[in-house]
Amino acid sequence: MAKAYMIGTGIGNLAAGIYLIRDGGWSGDQITMFGLEKHGANDGAEVSAYESEYGNPELSNNKGFLAKGGRMLNEETYENLWDVLRSVPSLDNPGQSVTDDILNFDHAHPTHDVARLMDRVDGIRNKGDQKDYSHMQFNNQDRFLLTKLMMLPESKEPQLNDVSIEQWFAKSPHIFTTNFWYMWQTTFAFKKESSATELRRYMNRMILEFSRINTLAGVTRTPYNQYESIILPMRKYLTDHGVNFVNNRKITEFEFKDTPLRDDIIVTGLKYEEVDNDNQTGEIEIGENDFVFDTNGAITDSSSIGDLNTPIKENMEYAPSAALWKQATEHFYNLGNPDKFFADRKQSEWLSFTVTTNNHFLLNEISRITQQEPGNALNTWIDSSNLLSIVVHHQPHFHTQKENETVFWGYVMYPRRKGDYVDKPFIEMTGKEMLEELLGHLAAVDPARDNISDHTEEIMDSIVNVIPAYMPYASALFNRRAVGDRPAVVPKNSKNLAFISQFAEMPFDMVFTEQYSFRCAQVAVYHFMGIPDSELTPLHHYEKQPKVLARATKTMFR
């Protein structure tokens, strides 16, 4: 009986397991999943749940909640995700699927951001003048270069090899001062240093969202954090079908068959360490009919967390998932270049913080200042030195969150820069200092006579915890790259190895999305199961629809 071994228990391999069972006719006991943690990039839990994964004996407070990041779904362009989750039963509403759960919640609580961009002088940039963020603020050179990038055929992508967004717009740096760029980079996590190739793909795949980016009306939110709303139901589905989850096992090395011409890629064994058992080592034999699905890059690898009184201590470890990928590249020439994504933290690092309070005073103050209810997406302070944003979720954001508690999340794009109100680099701040930095920016745009700054002591007394989370590779998938730096999902001549991650190459689709991971999973499973490509989930091509393009063109001149 054939077996499948999944390296990593992120959303891609969970999806692959479901595809094997649902479409491949496998039984769950044929599948084993190895994970260093249970959360992946779709995370969210009480802080105590992370202690074994990101444990730091110096932390003084293990209360509150932590969400290192937040994924924004999209109803129109996440075709594989909705298809798979229709097969996964809801944990909260018997008789419904996870797709039903999410879309019903989203339709009842549609996103409509009325305070997307903030600045110190004008507060919310929606006052009807040229600073109003419904205006993209392009000049003609911006429009020309952006349109030229969008219209570049995928066959011409080699022209963008190792080209950054900044280099593409070298003749019009004005674009980096526009409302468009402030919104685009903080919605999708792009930087000037990021790959122009990925911007091209996003502008085409997400062209439907371009005309409504100022309100983020296309953002689909989950009822709770993504771990509880998506990952837990998927794990339960797989467990109920007999899938074996092995936690805290680190796969350290592939063993390959030594074929005469070294053309065929055939995994014959996996070496591992038990990270919670004195690093005991072992080896798994891979049979000739078995398959290996590898997460060849994880954006939450080497994360570090702090707490209210403790700054993060940077973890300098090269990403374990990429180290395994790199070991495979030493055997075969066509498996990509992991260093392009994991050897330059300046391109990819992020720092987020999760705030838990024991009452709703701060939540209500933020709602008063931003003029929007919780659950309405992003607020970005465009003149903050770190480019600070917050996301105030629909409450509660966690199943175990108490009725009196509030949880929200924030992040900075440039953690090495000093704060505007706390005189130290953001990465060196404690959770309390990060909150002080946020309160300074809130006060700067607060027009009330009874300003939020008059309530600092009351707010600080309400704080349960503020958890910083540093992620050196959070946007590594946007790093500058060339054709060939990412391996194919199923590399040429691979008989039993597939890569399922944001660092595998597929045409057209866009990374930093669950859709990409789900699509990788389907491509890999269908290839090995002999299911024809014609049966892959159809993708929408809004970039070819005249009405959508007309709205986008109108937005360019708005």
User: Residues with catalytic annotation?
Assistant: 202
User: How far is it, in rounded angstroms, from Cα 420 to Cα 119?
Assistant: 13
- Tokens 């680190």 belong to which residue? 250
- What is the DSSP secondary-structure string of 253-287? EEEE---TTS-SB-EEEEEEEETTTTTEEEEEEPP
Instruction: With beta carbons less than 8 A apart as the criterion, state whether 242 and 27 touch.
Output: yes
Counting runs of H as helices and runs of E as strands, what totals does the chain give?
A: 19, 20
Instruction: Using alpha carbons, list the distances in angstroms from residue 193 to 54, 100, 170.
Output: 29, 38, 12
Instruction: With beta carbons less than 8 A apart as the criterion, state whether 134 and 126 touch.
Output: yes
Name residue 45's beta-bridge partners: 66
Which residues, at least 6 apart from 250, have a Cβ–Cβ distance to it below 8 Å?
34, 36, 272, 273, 274, 275, 320
Question: Residue 86 is encoded by which pair of tokens?
Answer: 């229709």
Chain Cα centroid distance, residue 103: 20
User: How far is it, in rounded angstroms, from Cα 413 to Cα 208?
Assistant: 25
- What is the DSSP secondary-structure string of 206-253? THHHHTTTTTTTTEE--SS-HIIIIIHHHHHHHHHTTPEEEETEEEEE
User: How far is it, in rounded angstroms, from Cα 91 to Cα 98?
Assistant: 8
